[in-house]
Amino acid sequence: MKISTRRAPLIPHSQNLENREAGSLGVTAGTWRKYLLPVCLIPVWAATMGPRAGVAQGRTPAEQAGVRSTAKSTEARGDIARFADRVQAALASAGGDKAYWGLLVSDADSGEVLYSVNAGRYFVPASNTKLFTTVMALATLGPDFRIRTTVESAGERDSLGCLTGDLVLVGRGDANLSNLVFPFVDRIERSGPAEKALADLADQVVAAGVKEISGDVVADDSYFLPERYPPGWTIDDAVWSYGAAVSALAIHDNFISVDLRPGSSIGAPLAYSAAPWPGVYAIRNDTLTTAAGTEPKLRLERDTDSQSFHLTGTLPLDAPARQLQLAVSQPAENAAAILMQLLQARGVRVDGHSRARHGDRGAQPQTATTMHVIAEHISPPLLQDVRLTNKMSLNLHAELLLRVAAKEKAGATTLDDALGFATQFRQGIGISPDDVQLTDGSGLSRGDLVTPQSVVQLLAYALRQPWGSDFLATLPVAGQDGTLENRMRGTAAAGQVRAKTGLVEHVNSLSGYATSRRGAHLLFSIFGNNTGTHGRDALNVVDAISVAIVEELAPHPKTRVAPSAADRRPAFPKQAQRQNSR
């Protein structure tokens, strides 16, 4: 099946990238993703002529922060020599030989650098950016932090149940105002309608005795300023759920699920349903059902910020249902319309209309109005959202984590201020500002740049924290769950690698933790940029290096950490055991 927008050509299925890595909560949105990567990169010969086993590039910030080069002690090690040969073979393979590669592997117990290629060079990280965001959120807010979403009013309810003035839905960056089931284990589960969280709030309003609202239903996302799309995101990103607009109010991850099914007969239009459906959007359906066995050809047209979707094309009579996850471009307006619809369905009369209230950069301070809380929704603990974000690579969740941490701890209301807060955090834990240049919190931006050594520094820092083991458990497990569920199955790396994937066109990255067959506890970061049009080739290179890490590398007896020091570090995970969803 093929889908495009008016501003993008059709994308052949063979060029589709991993759906989940696109930050989608469903099975199809990322399938038709269009990526642009306006970055010129160096060919692979620069990498293959780089340092060999155990050699770092001069004294780097990574060394100053405890990730040390031990070239003399590693040069004679057979395990590292064998690993180096396998890395070079992988980089020289078809699909890897024209790309630009960076790699750093270090011993988690000693800080010893075991292998390094271009570890101090810049790479576009894709979703490895989420490592920086989620570690910062855990460190600054804490694993148990929760977000409160409220329904408020400045007016009073009279004896007849009439509420004077507006009813205001106040968002504070909760990414889970949906029907997602928590605690999240390793599969996304849903319970109830897409608008379940808002329906619960509407039920509380009714239970409070409100029967009529004399004013408007207002959705207030002024918790931070309305900057819906970070720099480096493309027009095509904004069509699908993985590129949904960022807002302090995120209902159902700010997308609409549209399910398409063949019509009742050949020539009939496709049947469709959409949820949540606030009534402010329109779908023009010019599709047709074709004979069984014919090729499905679907096309979506939507202009930027348009509230109209135009579906054309065909689906055969015997085809299974298709789901499109279409991004909401005006999240607060969408939330207000849905809440008003839910209240009216419960018998509440609304004399006004639905509207949004946004923050204003130039607004003058005003005297605070006393607001009465009528209903509230409390988010799951932060650690649960970090687990969901990292396992499933959810872009909107990462963007909100960045902004909420900066708002709560530094009063930041703009994206620039939030990015500045994140930069200060990284500097505070010893990461050089020259090693990380981020323009968003998710990695969807093509303007993000990081070095492999900065990622390994970050991983080492996280491991030393009281929540270090919990953080490790948020990462996908090779061959088992998340965005690594279908990778490295049946290899030595299955269950032994916990790592964050990164995947946009011409970019493939993987960074995290591994336990080798010989018991070495390892930190690693692998980046491939300029990887060509066949994403699977680059993915195979990354996976081959990951398997080699597990199969070849061993702890060094002379550099093992002393028992007393090991006792102060969170236990490195043993082989991950598959957990079943509730």
Q: Which amino acid is present at 517?
A: R
User: What is the greatest pairwise CA distance in the chain?
Assistant: 85
Query: Annotated catalytic, 127?
Result: yes
Which run of H or of E encompasses 523?
Answer: strand 521-529
Q: Residue 514: CB partners within 8 Å, gap ≥ 6?
A: 493, 496, 497, 498, 499, 522, 524, 546, 549, 550
CA–CA dist 420, 233 (Å, integer): 19
Contact 477, 391 (CB under 8 A): no
Measure the CA dihedral 240/245/248/252, to 10°: -20
**Active-site residue, selected from the candidate residues 106, 110, 116, 130:** 130
Which pair of tokens denotes residue 341? 């619809």
Query: Annotated catalytic, 393?
Result: yes
Cis preceding linkage at 51, omega within 30: no
Q: Give bridge partners of residue 324 from the DSSP assignment.
A: 258
Contact 253, 394 (CB under 8 A): yes
Contact 79, 107 (CB under 8 A): no
Q: Which of 564, 574, 453 is nearest to 513 (CA)?
A: 574
Tokens 């290899």 sit on residue: 491
DSSP state for residue 17 in the 8-state scheme: P
- Listed in sequence order, the DSSP H helices in 96-195 are 129-141
**Active-site residue, selected from the candidate residues 24, 110, 116, 393:** 393
Query: Annotated catalytic, 14?
Result: no
Residue 218 half-sphere exposure, CB side, CA atoms within 13 Å?
16
Tokens 């004013």 sit on residue: 215
Q: What are phi and psi of 379, to 5 degrees?
A: -75, 165
CA–CA dist 238, 6 (Å, integer): 12
Q: Which amino acid is present at 421?
A: F
Three-state secondary-structure class, residue 190: strand
CA–CA dist 395, 420 (Å, integer): 19
Beta pairing, strands 167-170 & 217-220:
parallel
**How many of the other CB atoms lie within 10 Å of CB of 187?**
15
Beta pairing, strands 436-437 & 449-450:
antiparallel
Contact 19, 395 (CB under 8 A): no
CA–CA dist 335, 342 (Å, integer): 11
CA–CA dist 280, 308 (Å, integer): 9
Q: Residue 237: CB partners within 8 Å, gap ≥ 6?
A: 33, 229, 243, 444
Which run of H or of E encompasses 72?
Answer: helix 71-74
**Active-site residue, selected from the candidate residues 24, 110, 116, 127:** 127
Residues recognised as catalytic: 127, 130, 393
